[in-house]
Amino acid sequence: MTFIRALAGACLASLCGFVAPAKAQTYPTRSITMIVPFAAGGPTDVISRIVTSHMAQTLGQSIIIENVVGAGGTTATTRAARATNDGYTLITGHMGTHAASVPLYPKLAYHPEKDFEPVALLAGTPILILARKDFPPKDLKEFVTYVKANSEKVNAAHAGIGSVSHVSCELLHSILDIKPVGVPFNGTGPAMNALVAGQVDYICDQIVNAVPQINAGTIKAYAIATPERNPSLPNVPTTAEAGLPGFQAQAWNAMFAPKGTSPAIIASLNAAAIKALDDETVKKRLLELGSVIPVPKDRTPEALAALVKSEIAKWTPVLKPAS
Ligand code: ASP
């Protein structure tokens, strides 16, 4: 009896000895840094904050947003690519940092596919053509006529070469066959402030930080570049309705970890991201800001890997290297 008890005790001890270190290593044991490659208040920042605040509850650790700006988001993305692949440094990238930057930066210090583990797609973000409140054209047809006639004088704000706002307006400008001056900012948060203040003429940006401004009447929205209107902006016509069907643009934001981050960590981050996207409050907030919530089949790391691949293939022939 005593022997059996002793044996059971020994077994328990060895079991505890086995369990304890494994438990001690359970990810995450400390706070996680989420690099946002643009300034606070822009779409990438806002989407990251909404989703990670819920993920932090699931993971039981805080997620600290670090805004690292510059070079259309490629400065931050380089830093994330070089970070230790232990799950404690992540990045919220987008169509620019993880696709359009490839053809635009011949010396890009990272490759979106080779240097990152995809975690999860967070949001689709339709593009809008937006202008300062007192920009003369009153609708998209007038805008087209006006910018063509004044292409030497007008300017378009963007978040740096290769950013979504830059690439989207490049697409618009190529359709209109104009080359207006671009005004770079560290993100479209500050670019939006400049638009509201009337310091720049127009921008092609992701819907997220535009919705509150459009609804408050501080800026003008000419059109949304998607096939359907967005429920958050029912009065904004599509580019097709407004007379420019050729301009179609939708971006996306997604979470990535440095290459070599363990599959178990990627799985727990992906699960936490999916849980956040299914949370009613998170969903409501993202939808109010016009984002498109990824459907379940698009939420896996594999689906994000496929998206990055297809987006690089899509943008590479369209964008010429920046000189
Ligand atoms: N929307 C921005 C872009 O143009 C970046 C940002 O999120 O501030 O890429």
Domain ranges across the chain? 32-124+252-322, 126-242
Mean pLDDT of 8-35: 63
Q: Which residue owns the Cα nearest ligand 1 atom 5?
A: 187
CB under 6 Å to ligand 1: residues?
38, 42-44, 96, 159, 163-165, 187-189, 205-206
Radius of gyration of the chain (CA): 23
Give the helix ranges, DSSP H, for the chain: 2-24, 43-59, 74-82, 101-104, 140-149, 164-176, 188-196, 211-216, 263-278, 280-288, 301-315
Question: In this model, does residue 22 exceed pLDDT 70?
Answer: no
Q: Tell which atom from ligand 1 comes closest to the C-alpha of 206.
A: 1
**pLDDT (tens digit per residue) in 169-185:** 999 999 999 999 999 99
Flag whether pLDDT at 4 surpasses 50: no
Q: Confidence band (pLDDT; 50, 70, 90) for 20? A: very low
State the Cα–Cα distance between residues 66 and 91, nearest whole angstrom: 9
pLDDT band per the 50, 70, 90 thresholds, residue 16: very low
Taking residue 51's Cβ as centre, other Cβ atoms within 10 Å add up to 26
Specify the residue for token string 């900012």: 185
298: which DSSP letter?
G
Cα 180 to ligand 1 centroid, rounded to whole Å: 19
CATH 3.40.190.10 correct for 126-242: yes
What is the percent of the chain with per-residue pLDDT over 90, rounded to a whole number? 89
Q: Residue 183 pairs with which residues in a beta bridge?
A: 157
Tell me: pLDDT of 14 over 80. no
pLDDT at 310: 97
Q: What is the pLDDT of residue 80?
A: 98
CB atoms within 10 A of CB 58: 16
Better-scored residue on pLDDT, 322 or 46: 46
User: 92-127 b/e with 16+ CB inside 10 Å = b?
Assistant: bbbbbbbbbbbbbbeebebebeebbbbbbbbbbbbb
Residue 25: predicted pLDDT: 62
Query: Distance between alpha carbon 20 and the CA centroid of its chain, in Å?
Result: 38
Nearest-atom number in ligand 1 for the CA of 188 is 8
What is the per-residue pLDDT across 48-105, written as a single tens digit (0 to 9) for each?
999 999 999 999 999 999 999 999 999 999 999 999 999 999 999 999 999 999 999 9
Enter the DSSP assignment of 238.
B
Amino acid at 185: F
Collect all residues with Cβ–Cβ distance below 8 Å to 111 and sequence separation of at least 6. 102
Q: Which residues contact 62 (CB under 8 A, 6 or more apart)?
A: 31, 32, 56
Tell me the per-residue pLDDT of 97-137, one tens digit each, with 9 for 90 and over.
Answer: 999 999 999 999 999 999 999 999 999 999 999 999 999 99
Is 230 within 8 Å of 210 (Cβ atoms)? no
The pLDDT score that the predictor gives to residue 115 is 98
Q: Count Cβ atoms below 10 Å from residue 177 Cβ, excluding itself.
A: 8
Please give the pLDDT value at position 321. Answer: 54
Same topology for domains 32-124+252-322 and 126-242, yes or no? Answer: yes
Given a contact cutoff of 8 angstroms between Cβ atoms, the answer to whether 51 and 282 are in contact is: yes
8 Å CB contact between 98 and 234: no
Residue with tokens 């967070």, as numbered in its chain: 122
Residue nearest to atom 2 of ligand 1 (CA): 188
Whether 286 and 123 have beta carbons less than 8 Å apart is answered as yes
Mean residue pLDDT across the chain? 92
How far apart (Å, rounded) are the C-alpha atoms in residues 167 and 209?
18
Domain 32-124+252-322: give its CATH code: 3.40.190.150
Residues 226-273 have pLDDT tens digits of: 999 999 999 999 999 999 999 999 999 999 999 999 999 999 999 999
